[in-house]
Structures are given as C-alpha cells and as structure tokens.
Amino acid sequence: MIGLMRALRAERKHPWQFMPATCCRVTRDEISLLSALDHAQGPDQGGLAAATRVLTGLDEAPRLTAALKAAAEMLESVRPMLAGSHSPQAQTPFTRH
C-alpha cells in the first residue's frame, strides 16, 4: 500500500483529498482509488487505464498501474485469511461479565 500511495504522489497532477480515518465518509478521490483497485483485480485493462486517468489526470500512469496490480495481488493472496477470520469456527468463545 505504501508503494501505491507513493505512485499516486509521483504521478497525480491534483492535490489528494481524503477524510481522517475516524470519519465515516469518503471523498471522490478515495472512491476513485477503490474503483481503480477493483479494476486491477480483474481482466479489464481498459477499465484500469481509465481509472488511472481519473486518479492522475495523465493519459498513462505506469507506476500507479504497476502499484495497483501489486496491491491487487497482495489482497488476493490474503483473501483466504480474511475470509477465515469471520467464520463461526474461527471465533473464540468468550464470557460476558
């Protein structure tokens, strides 16, 4: 994710708008980043290119494209671990006092 943010910083033409982590709302920039990450996880390279254009304002953003693909691969590799943490068998019983 650090590589993703560094690529954004290097290739983006506009200031980045974000909300604090404690805020329940999101900005257009944050939504665009999630959309680009979604495209990076699928086979639609045209959609990924369009999403990087929205994020950067550039026709091509090779650094951001590579960072999005790397982030998508990492998320895919941890998906089984994340899915397992929400299963009823994975929950540890506890006592409420």
pLDDT digits (tens, 9 = 90+) for 67-84: 999 999 998 888 888 776
Report the pLDDT value the prediction gives residue 97, as an integer from 0 to 100: 45
Instruction: Identify whether 32 is part of a domain.
Output: yes
- pTM of the shown model: 0.76
d(CA 24, CA 64): 26
The answer to whether residue 31 is domain-embedded is yes
Answer whether 62's CB lies under 8 Å from 7's CB: no
Domain that holds residue 79: 2-12+27-83
Is residue 21 in some structural domain?
A: no
Tokens found for residue 57: 């304002």
Distance CA 55, CA 16 (A): 9
Residue 39 in domain: yes
Tens digit of pLDDT for each residue in 36-45?
Answer: 999 999 898 8
Residue with tokens 């495209």: 39
Residue 17 lies in a domain: no
Tokens 């680009």 correspond to what residue? 36
Evaluate whether residue 95 is within a structural domain: no
Question: How many domains, in total, are found in the chain?
Answer: 1
- Residue with structure tokens 């920039």? 29
